[in-house]
Structure 1
Amino acid sequence: MNKINEGEGSTRRRGAELEGAILQAAWDELMEIGFHHLTIEGVAARAQTSKPVIYRRWPNREELVLAAILNHLPTVSVPDTGNLRSDVLLLLNELNEMLQQIGPKTIHGLMSVVSDIPFSDILNFRRTNTMTVILDRAIERGEIRPEKVTPRITRLPVDLVRHELLITLEPVSMKTIEEIVDEIFLPLLK
């Protein structure tokens, strides 16, 4: 009897198990050596698989990195403090922490080489939906006027935090986040 049937040897990983191992390997490589040094070969070696297995799932390094990032982003909780300002500050602080975990150089690197994948839209998708819920609650409480809420204004605070991080390549301070909310975002909704 062969070892695989006897349970003595390893079996080939497939499906979700294999994909999870590849995404974890890509994330680990990204965190250890960075986007510009990450290779499919390195990910394959770390995941103990082959390059063709990876290329069957992701056509290039950029899409693999995007998948790894999205796989590791935590689920977003929608703040509900009963106050628009507090909710937006909590959301932006969470976003800031997540962007720092990914790293501004990784984000910048991806954005500079990926023209057909809307990386900012992918990252922003969860945030925009969260911001929409926050704004809808503020409208229900009478804090803001619904006619002032546009898609661009909804995206604005997230875009400004991301922009600040990418331009400075430094963590965005709480003071800067408060300025974005108090001096730019909230006045647009009044």
Structure 2
Amino acid sequence: MADDPTRRPGSRRRGAALEEAILRAAAEELTESGYAGLTMDRVARRAGTNKNAIYRRWPDRLALGAAAYRRLTTAVRPPDTGVLREDALELLRMANRHWSSPLGGILRELIAAAGGASEMLSQFPEQSADTVAATWLTVLGRAVARGEASPEALHPRVATVAIVLLRNEFVVRGVPTAPDEVLVEIVDEVYLPLVRRRGPAPAGAVTRSS
């Protein structure tokens, strides 16, 4: 186990310094052993503290695991290839790579421990519904400006159809990765026809905001 290079011998950390040491230790444990191997005892030993210091900040192992996972993730930058189809495929491929990566494996363990995807994903800024919708709306907005998609398609539920279908492959089918032909099918058979042909709602139709 790596020692904390910022800690002076005999010093006692408090506040933000101690929290940082605990999170760093938890992230290292997650990376090495996954969520299944994450224990309060091991994190406390690695951080050079005691379990009470951890429990004062995180009520249980799942909360600590989620916080450590957030530390390991980075924000997704929307692709900008100049073509909607390629942008959409790249976003799906990025999600596919993440889900099948070691970090994605940790996310799957956390989701299983939480008892469902929606509750757990809402805790991660880069995985939250608002962030995902903003990413897809950015890509779709560029396509609308280029004349590739209908302006009426700029709705969060429409913009995120492709990633929702891919997540369905992950969660419902229980697969760690989806074949690339599935991603192509989602984009070509569902997403592009939807955003290109979507028009104004019929007169008298009831619409709901997301």
| Bigger fraction of residues in helix | 1
**1:128 positional shift:** 2.4
CA 40–177 in structure 1, closer or farther in 2 if over 3 Å, else same: same
**Does the CA-based 8 Å contact 1:99-1:162 persist in structure 2?**
no
Relative contact order (alpha carbons < 8 A, sep ≥ 6): 1 or 2 greater? Answer: 1
Q: Which moved more, 1:70-79 or 1:154-163?
A: 154-163
Show the counterpart of 2:185: 179
Cα RMSD for the two superposed structures? 2.6
Distance 2:82 2:38 in 1: 43
Give the partner amino acid of 1:19: E
Does 1:153 find its partner at 2:154? Answer: no
Alignment of 1:37-76 (within 5 A): 37-76=37-76
**1:55 positional shift:** 1.9
**1:15 positional shift:** 4.3
**Does the CA-based 8 Å contact 1:145-1:189 persist in structure 2?**
yes
Give the partner amino acid of 2:119: P
CA 80–8 in structure 1, closer or farther in 2 if over 3 Å, else same: closer
Distance 2:80 2:56 in 1: 42
Q: Which moved more, 1:179-188 or 1:165-174?
A: 165-174
Distance 1:94 1:15 in 2: 36
CA 168–51 in structure 1, closer or farther in 2 if over 3 Å, else same: same
Does 1:139 find its partner at 2:144? Answer: yes
**1:12 positional shift:** 3.0
Distance 1:100 1:16 in 2: 33
Distance 1:53 1:145 in 2: 54
**1:14 positional shift:** 4.0
Does 1:28 find its partner at 2:33? Answer: no
Residue identity over aligned pairs, in percent, reads: 38
**Does the CA-based 8 Å contact 2:141-2:154 persist in structure 1?**
no
Q: Structure 1, unaligned stretches of length 5 or more?
A: 1-6
Distance 1:59 1:86 in 2: 43
Deviations 1:73-97 (A, max 9, x none): 1221121111111111122222222
Does 1:124 find its partner at 2:128? Answer: yes
Q: Structure 2, unaligned stretches of length 5 or more?
A: 1-6, 197-210
Q: Please give the TM-score of this superposition, normalised by the length of structure 1.
A: 0.80
Give the partner amino acid of 1:38: L
Show the counterpart of 2:4: none
SS in 1 for 2:12: coil
Distance 2:132 2:160 in 1: 8
**Does the CA-based 8 Å contact 2:153-2:159 persist in structure 1?**
no
**Does the CA-based 8 Å contact 1:124-1:158 persist in structure 2?**
no
Distance 1:158 1:145 in 2: 19
CA 162–44 in structure 1, closer or farther in 2 if over 3 Å, else same: farther
**Does the CA-based 8 Å contact 1:73-1:98 persist in structure 2?**
no
Q: Which moved more, 1:19-28 or 1:83-92?
A: 19-28
**Does the CA-based 8 Å contact 2:80-2:139 persist in structure 1?**
yes
